[in-house]
Amino acid sequence: MDASPTRVFVYAAYYYPGKNLEALRAEIRSYLDRGYTVVKMKIGGVKLADDRLRIEAVLAEIGNNAQLAVDANGRFDLETAIACAKMLRKYPLFWYEEAGDPLNFALQSALAEFYPAPMATGENIFSHQDARNLLRHGGMRADRDWLQFDCALSYGLCEYLRTLEIIRAAGWSPRRCIPHGGHQMSLNIAAGLGLGGNESYPDLFQPFGGFPDGVRIENGYVTMPELPGMGFEGKSDLIRVMRQLAE
């Protein structure tokens, strides 16, 4: 995986609850059809056995054309997180995300003993001090795990730059950062700072989510358009709302 100021990896996040397996597969297929090579779905809202069926349905749908990440949204206690890890480790997942409370570093560290494949966390950590404690005490592994600190919510860009200093001092590459937040501001910051990519919400939070008009995903990457600043003017439905709010 590479990244540059003009070409940035993005993945598609799944957020729609209550769908049967057929509808879930159809939604994931829609992301692949739009050019994504990594897709993410939520887990933990149903019994473990039901999540196993959901995961297997998605893996059957994507085949060798993409990878699947799963996100528990911090809902598990340690026992449940480990039980889930034991179930997940048989599958070729892109990552296992935010199993427990984001500040429960002891849980995250213990989980690493049961899940050797990549894990991801950090979207609900906003200060460089908490980021440092995650890296010190959370059992995160710089050779495989991913950090998701939200560069648009982390108390400003200056604080995010302090977090990147912490990351480097701990022996991590900024390319292991794939921020939470599927919108233009996060995408532009990720591109400008040379991070590993960015989350994407293909169908959610409109008109604020998504990318400028005409931007397409090709083999999991977007090519940044030639627009000044954050490029809000390049997303017609968004700039329309922003102008209305400014009146």
d(CA 140, CA 119): 8
Assign 51 to helix, strand or coil: helix
Residues paired with 40 in a beta bridge: 13, 69
Q: Show the beta-strand stretches assigned E in the chain.
A: 7-13, 38-42, 67-71, 95-97, 119-121, 146-147, 198-200, 217-218, 221-223
Catalytic residues: 42, 180
The first and second tokens of residue 132, run together, are: 């440092």
Number of residues assigned to the chain: 247
Q: Which two tokens stand for residue 57?
A: 């349905």
CA distances from 234 to 5, 212, 239 (A): 17, 5, 8
Spell out the residues 6+ positions from residue 195 whose beta carbon is closer than 8 angstroms to its own: 3, 151, 174, 175, 177, 178, 179, 189
Count of other CB atoms within 10 angstroms of residue 25: 17
- Please tell me the distance from the alpha carbon of residue 225 to that of residue 88, in angstroms, as a whole number: 38
CA quadruple 138, 142, 148, 150: dihedral sign: positive
